[in-house]
Amino acid sequence: MAGHFEPLAGGGAAVALDEVEISILRSLAVQLLELIGPGDGHGPDDADPLARLFVEGPSEPPADPALARLFPDAYGEPGSAQDPQERAHAAEFRRYTENDLRARKREDALGIVRSLDALTAGGDRGAVLRLSPEDCRQWLGALNDLRLAIGTRLEIGDEDDSDELFRLPDEDPRKPMVMAYLWLGGLQETLVEALMS
């Protein structure tokens, strides 16, 4: 089980994590939370869900490339010039969906932090993380978001672009992020496989 998820009887998945892995995962999830930004007071715990329907979000895509990857335009190809009608449709769609999408991504990242905090609260040198099916959904969402953000920072476009990054010398400052990108990919893949078993 070390380093990869395995299915649990009755649903969910489990993975053995050492102290360093727990620390890295928690740090990455906190960085993702910082990237996504604070809530707007209209998240899933809001007392008046009807009021949330009328809260407008941003209409322009984020300037930060990693955020733009996490919250892409709904119309047109990423990075391509949109005609005015596509821009208007994309702005309208973003205005009414981005706040909820941000709230969900925030909850997914918080799910990782909470799961890991429950493990480290006992001061163990490592532990087996057991996730319920709902926890698995949050982890899959957050692992995907982490990989998208890291991949954007590393300028990984498609599989052919990434080959040279995987052969970086140890001295290259991008090497730790490449290793994190690969490791998160392995966790994500084995979690999907565990859930499909």
Q: What is the pLDDT of residues 157-182, one digit of tens each?
A: 766 566 777 788 999 999 999 999 99
**Residue 92 in this model has a pLDDT that exceeds 60:** yes
What is the average pLDDT score of the chain? 85
pLDDT over 50 (residue 1): no
pLDDT at 21 over 90: yes
The rounded percent of the chain whose pLDDT value lies above 90 is 57
pLDDT at 126: 75
Edge-first strand order for the sheet with 13-18 is 6-7, 13-18, 126-131
If phi > 0 it is left, if psi is from -120 to 50 it is alpha, else beta; for residue 171 that is alpha
Can you tell me the mean pLDDT for 64-75? 89
Residue 46 has pLDDT above 90, yes or no: no
Question: Of 30-39, 45-54, 156-165, where does mean pLDDT reach its minimum?
Answer: 45-54
pLDDT score, position 82: 64
Q: Is the pLDDT of residue 49 over 70?
A: no
| pLDDT band of 193, cuts 50, 70, 90 | very high
pLDDT of residue 43: 46
DSSP the chain: -BTS-EE-TTS-EEEEEEHHHHHHHHHHHHHHHHHH----S-STT-S-HHHHTT----SS--SSHHHHHHS--SSS-TTSPPPHHHHHHHHHHHHHHHHHHHHHHHHHHHHHHHHHHHHHTTT-SEEEEEE-HHHHHHHHHHHHHHHHHHHHHTT--SHHHHHHHHT--TTSTTHHHHHHHHHHHHHHHHHHHHHH-
Torsional sign, CA 105, 17, 26, 166: negative
pTM: 0.84
pLDDT for position 53? 59
User: How far apart are the C-alpha atoms of 37 and 190, rounded to whole Å?
Assistant: 29
